[in-house]
Amino acid sequence: MAFTEFRPLDEKSLIDYIKATPSLSSKLGNKFDDLTIKEVGDGNLNFVYIVFNSSGSFVIKQALPYIRCIGESWPMTKERAYFETLALKEHGRFCPEHTPEVYHFDRTMSLLAMRYIEPPHIILRKGLIAGIEYPLLAEHISEYMANTLFFTSLLFRTTTEHKRDVAEFCGNVELCRLTEQVVFSDPYKISQYNRWTAPYLDRDAEAVREDNLLKLEVAELKSKFCERAQALIHGDLHTGSVMVTPKSTQVIDPEFAFYGPMGFDIGAFLGNLILAFFAQDGHCDQVNDRKAYKEWILKAIEETWNLFHYKFIALWDKHKNGSGEAYLPAIYDNPEVQLLVQKSYMKDLFHDSLGFGAAKMIRRIVGVAHVEDFESITDASKRATCERRALNLAKSILKERRKFEGITEVISAIRQF
């Protein structure tokens, strides 16, 4: 059977596809009698199949021309599979330890094959709901962010390379537009897609739509998102895009990747950890009050930023005489000015991260796509209480982010809400 035209696969036709694709069948030792195929796409957009037999394994991800969780009524280019593949490869070059290897890509079929991130890996968000500590999480994710962001920025690249790649990823505009809508627009207006824990949060959702200062700030962030090509960002770096064991951290699902503001990735991750923190009171019971776990989350937030900062600056120092064109050595190679520009760069990045993180929190409470951290709290009143605290913190951070001088002040703020 030939696959010369796009068609959605299912467990059955996928076998034919694999048989017709040498690079995939060879991964299975060309044996098909003991094959297991399982669709596991719990995500919002795509179909994901785990494929394995006694000889090997991989994961197949296929994009259909609409958004899976909504259906054909919300069309979405299947070219996203192409950009996901590009981003996986590019990020994989700079951070192979935390990025699944791509085995195969088929643009016609909008399909990629990648390493199967095997059990006991689970989605980080589920681990956070279950109250599991990941001692290496901050270390790993900061490594991932520092490497992928630094090496795709003008701190490492020439403007020639940069403009070439920016142009390429402009093609991922439909996915960017989805973010523009669901993160920066819908929560601040009446939208058929918005939902929240009603009736408890009716007034809170309305207050978001009527808060002029909040709208001013979110407009500034949106303009950064649309206009600032700072680095190749993942674009959807929430805790559902990270698979973990206590020893390993793997970042999946960069289909929203494009050249955008670094703070969007950092904020997505930190913001989702903060959501996990506020959800804990909905998950505690007599056996486990989750107090210690909440402290661990706060520590993970603090360490993620601090380690990111440390690693990012270390990369900068290491490559300061390299080919990056933002700060030419002939101009910036003296310790005093180097310190000055790094401080200024990191301060702006910190404030961007807080802003984007806050915007991502808000949209998860009053926008279309919610997070399992809260959704799994069955008592709606209890859930609303958790959500309101997170929402109020996020609003305050979004408006006052420039006043925060360091991550410890953010931790203090989280404790106050």
> CB of 177: closest distance to ligand ADP in angstroms?
16
Residue among 102 and 349 whose Cβ is closer to ligand ADP: 102
Q: How many residues bind ligand ADP (CB under 6 A)?
A: 20
The CA-to-CA distance between both ends of the chain, in Å, stands at 59
Nearest Cα residue to 43 out of 60, 59, 65, 67: 67
Q: Using CB positions, name the residue nearest to Mg ion.
A: 43
Stretch 26-65 residues interacting with Mg ion (CB under 5 A): 43, 45
Does 112 contact ligand ADP by CB under 6 A? no
CB atoms closer than 10 angstroms to residue 215: 14
One residue of 15, 25, 41, 65 binding ligand ADP per CB under 6 A: 41
**Which residues have CB under 8 Å from 59's CB, separation 6+?**
48, 49, 50, 51, 100, 113, 114, 115, 116, 117
Stretch 187-246 residues interacting with Mg ion (CB under 5 A): 236
In angstroms, rounded to a whole number, what is the distance separating the alpha carbons of residues 365 and 205? 9
Does 400 contact a copy of itself by CB under 8 A? no
In angstroms, rounded to a whole number, what is the distance separating the alpha carbons of residues 413 and 298? 11
Are residues 112 and 105 in contact, defined by beta-carbon separation less than 8 angstroms? yes
Does 128 contact ligand ADP by CB under 6 A? no
Nearest Cα residue to 102 out of 198, 181, 23, 176: 23
- Which residue stretch of 38-46, 269-277, 334-342, 373-381 sits at the interface with ligand ADP (rule: CB under 6 A)? 38-46
In angstroms, rounded to a whole number, what is the distance separating the alpha carbons of residues 217 and 354? 12
Residue among 228 and 389 whose Cβ is closer to a copy of itself: 228
Residue among 60 and 298 whose Cβ is closer to Mg ion: 60
117 binds, among Mg ion, ligand ADP, a copy of itself, none (CB under 5 to 8 A by kind): ligand ADP
Q: Is the Cα torsion angle 324, 266, 233, 194 positive or negative in sign?
A: negative
> CB of 334: closest distance to a copy of itself in angstroms?
8
DSSP result, 70-138: TEEEEE--TTHHHHHHHHHHHHHHH-GGGSPPEEEEETTTTEEEE----TT-EEHHHHHHHT---TTHH
Residue among 81 and 229 whose Cβ is closer to ligand ADP: 81
One residue of 45, 95, 124, 394 binding ligand ADP per CB under 6 A: 45
One residue of 44, 181, 306, 376 binding ligand ADP per CB under 6 A: 44
Token pair in block for residue 86: 């590009």
Nearest Cα residue to 112 out of 134, 133, 92, 140: 92
Stretch 244-303 residues interacting with ligand ADP (CB under 6 A): 252-253, 255
- Which residue stretch of 114-122, 159-167, 265-273, 387-395 sits at the interface with ligand ADP (rule: CB under 6 A)? 114-122
Does 84 contact Mg ion by CB under 5 A? no
Stretch 174-213 residues interacting with a copy of itself (CB under 8 A): 176-177, 180, 185, 188-190, 212-213
296 binds, among ligand ADP, Mg ion, a copy of itself, none (CB under 5 to 8 A by kind): none
CA distances from 78 to 210, 328, 339 (A): 36, 40, 45
CA distances from 203 to 143, 147, 183, 381, 413 (A): 40, 42, 20, 14, 23
> CB of 65: closest distance to a copy of itself in angstroms?
17
Are residues 239 and 357 in contact, defined by beta-carbon separation less than 8 angstroms? no
Residue among 114 and 279 whose Cβ is closer to ligand ADP: 114
In angstroms, rounded to a whole number, what is the distance separating the alpha carbons of residues 104 and 114? 7
**What are residue 232's DSSP bridge partners?**
259
Q: Which parts of this chain interact with Mg ion (CB under 5 A)?
A: 43, 45, 236, 253, 255
Q: Which parts of this chain interact with a copy of itself (CB under 8 A)?
A: 154, 159-160, 162-164, 166-168, 170-171, 173, 176-177, 180, 185, 188-190, 212-213, 215-216, 219-220, 222-223, 226-230, 325-328, 330-332, 334, 336-337, 340-341, 344
Q: Which parts of this chain interact with ligand ADP (CB under 6 A)?
A: 40-46, 48, 59, 61, 100, 114-117, 123, 241, 252-253, 255
